[in-house]
């Protein structure tokens, strides 16, 4: 399916900055008209052949530039339960990247170019969101150590306590990406998303972006969600055990019960840049603007900056010593 402008027939897209559908050709707002049909291999707008991958659910025609949402990949069992629309547009994502790179002191000065930033893609990444009820039973022995001195004798007092905790906590929508193309570690670092802006699925939000259908079913990815919930439960439990020098666990049992799962699409800006023969990938959270990715290091900058610090600090120390000597 595609969204066409009722006024000019151009391709209407979702504009994150405005939070509504927009026609970039005649600048009409909310003038979209859904045109159903099309296949995975042929552009519904111009008839040109399309190159889609196994899990592509939205793409752009390389010939006419029209953004296409593939109905068969967003309907039925593939229909997302919810979607988080892009909140920041490409311009804001580029600004976020530039801000982040300027903070990284040793990034080469000639890194990034406006031209290459044009190729940044907005992608709806498939996620499974899991709900859990966690019940944690913990028994341990805590030791408090107190030391004091009287005369020429040092006293060390050890007080032993039985520490018992029975803790209940509910986790809602623990996210796990369901895309082979996206690295798990990077997707984990993209978190958190503001779930307050989650909406029921509407394919119009995908017009203007790329998208994927989930690559793996919920059951296959549940292990990662469990691990995240287990780790959070452990942290919360440890946070409740304070004031001890050591705590020795005697009994611990964490019962994680799944209350449900949801299929959702999350917004990510992806940018790939080749610099001196090496490929660098950056991902920007399409909602919060958080940037994930490694930047190259300029050895020239490392040397000149560190030598400056070395020379200046040495001179400062030397002068400080001389000043104190004079005093």
Partner 1 sequence: MREYFRYFKWMYIVLGALVLLFVFLSAGHLALARMFGHDRDNQSCTTTERVFDYGDVLTDEEEEKLRRLIAKREKQTRCDIVLITLQESLKEYAREIEPGVGYDEFVRVYAEQFYEEHNFGYNSPNGDGIVLVDNWYREDDGRIYTWLCTTGRVKDKYSDAAVDHILDNVYRYVEKNPYRAYKTYINDFYHDMLGIQVFTLYVPGYLPWIVGLAAAVIFVVCNRRSKKGDKTTTALTYTGGVQPRFRVRQDRFLRKSVVTRKIQTSSGGRSGGSHGGGGGGSHGGGGHSR
State which of positions 289-308 bind partner 1 (CB under 8 A): 290-295, 297, 302, 304-308
Q: Pick from 144, 141, 162, 171: which is nearest to 236 by CA?
A: 171
Q: Which two tokens stand for residue 290?
A: 């958080």
For residue 232, state whether it binds partner 1 (rule: CB under 8 A): yes
- Cβ contact 63:46 at 8 Å: yes
Interface with partner 1 by CB under 8 A: which range of 48-56, 70-78, 257-265, 310-318?
A: 310-318
For residues 155 and 149, the answer to whether their CB atoms sit within 8 Å is yes
CA neighbor of 13 nearest in space, from 217, 210, 193, 164: 210
Please state the closest distance from residue 219 (CB atom) to partner 1, in A.
Answer: 20
Site string for partner 1, 177-196 (x = CB under 8 A): --------xx-xx-xx----
Residue 315 near partner 1 by CB under 8 A = yes
Q: Give the E-state strand segments of 17-72 in sequence order.
A: 20-22, 32-35, 56-60, 67-69
Q: How far is the CB of 270 from partner 1 (least distance, A)?
A: 14
Which one of residues 35, 181, 219, 317 is an interface residue with partner 1 (CB under 8 A)?
Answer: 317
Stretch of 14-22, 39-47, 54-62, 235-243 contacting partner 1, by CB under 8 A: 235-243
Q: Give the H/E segment covering residue 318.
A: helix 299-326
Both tokens of 228, joined, read 């995240």
Question: From the CB of 104, what's the least distance to partner 1, in Å?
Answer: 5
Contact in structure between 69 and 206 (CB atoms under 8 Å): yes
Minimum distance of partner 1 from residue 94's CB (angstroms) = 17
Least CB distance from residue 314 to partner 1, whole Å?
3
By CB under 8 A, the count of residues binding partner 1 is 78
Q: What is the rounded CA–CA span in Å between residue 203 and residue 252?
A: 46
Phi-psi bin for 292: left (phi > 0), alpha (psi -120 to 50), beta? beta
Q: Would you count residue 110 as binding partner 1 (CB under 8 A)?
A: no
Whose Cβ is closer to partner 1: residue 15's or residue 191's?
A: 191
Among 31, 71, 89, 229, binds partner 1 (CB under 8 A): 229
Cα-based angle 80, 21, 205 (whole degrees, multiple of 5): 15
Q: Encoding tokens for residue 31?
A: 């003038």
Asked whether position 254 contacts partner 1 by CB under 8 A, the answer is no
Strands 121-150 and 210-212: parallel
In this complex, which beta carbon is closest to partner 1, that of residue 178 or of residue 237? 237
Nearer to partner 1, 200 or 239 (CB): 239
In the block, which residue shows the tokens 């002068």? 319
| Candidate ranges 1-9, 52-60, 118-126, 227-235; the one touching partner 1 (CB under 8 A) | 227-235
Which one of the spans 35-43, 51-59, 78-86, 285-293 is the region binding partner 1 (CB under 8 A)? Answer: 285-293
Site for partner 1 in 34-93 (CB under 8 A): none
Q: How far is the CB of 269 from partner 1 (least distance, A)?
A: 14
Is residue 253 part of the contact set for partner 1 (CB under 8 A)? no
Shortest distance in whole angstroms from residue 47 CB to partner 1: 41
Question: For tokens 């927009």, what's the residue?
Answer: 22
Q: Work out the end-to-end distance of the chain between its first and last CA atoms, rounded to an integer number of angstroms.
A: 82
């Amino acid at each position: 399916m595609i969204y066409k402008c009722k006024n000019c027939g151009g391709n209407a897209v979702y504009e994150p900055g405005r939070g509504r559908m927009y026609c970039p050709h005649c600048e009409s707002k909310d003038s979209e008209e859904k045109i159903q049909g099309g296949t995975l291999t042929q552009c519904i707008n111009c008839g040109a052949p399309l190159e889609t991958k196994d899990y592509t659910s939205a793409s752009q025609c390389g010939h006419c530039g029209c953004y296409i949402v593939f109905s068969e990949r967003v309907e039925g069992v593939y229909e997302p339960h919810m979607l988080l629309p892009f909140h920041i547009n490409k311009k804001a994502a580029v600004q976020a990247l530039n801000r982040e790179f300027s903070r990284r002191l040793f990034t080469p000065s000639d890194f990034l170019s406006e031209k290459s930033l044009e190729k940044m893609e907005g992608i709806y990444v498939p996620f499974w969101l899991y709900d859990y009820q966690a019940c944690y039973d913990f028994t341990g022995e805590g030791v408090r150590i107190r030391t004091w001195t009287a005369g020429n004798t040092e006293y060390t007092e050890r007080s032993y306590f039985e520490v018992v905790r029975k803790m209940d906590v509910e986790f809602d929508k623990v996210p796990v990406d369901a895309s082979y193309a996206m690295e798990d570690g990077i997707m984990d670092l993209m978190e958190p998303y503001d779930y307050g802006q989650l909406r029921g699925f509407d394919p119009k939000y995908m017009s203007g972006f790329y998208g994927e259908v989930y690559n793996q079913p919920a059951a296959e990815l549940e292990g990662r969600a469990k691990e995240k919930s287990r780790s959070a439960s452990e942290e919360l439990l440890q946070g409740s055990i304070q004031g001890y020098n050591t705590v020795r666990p005697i009994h611990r049992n964490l019962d994680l019960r799944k209350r449900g799962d949801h299929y959702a699409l999350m917004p990510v800006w992806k940018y790939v840049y080749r610099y001196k023969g090496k490929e660098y990938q950056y991902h920007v959270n399409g909602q919060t603007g958080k940037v994930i990715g490694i930047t190259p290091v300029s050895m020239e900058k490392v040397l000149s900056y560190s030598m400056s610090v070395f020379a200046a600090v040495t001179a400062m120390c030397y002068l400080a010593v001389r000043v104190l000597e004079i005093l």
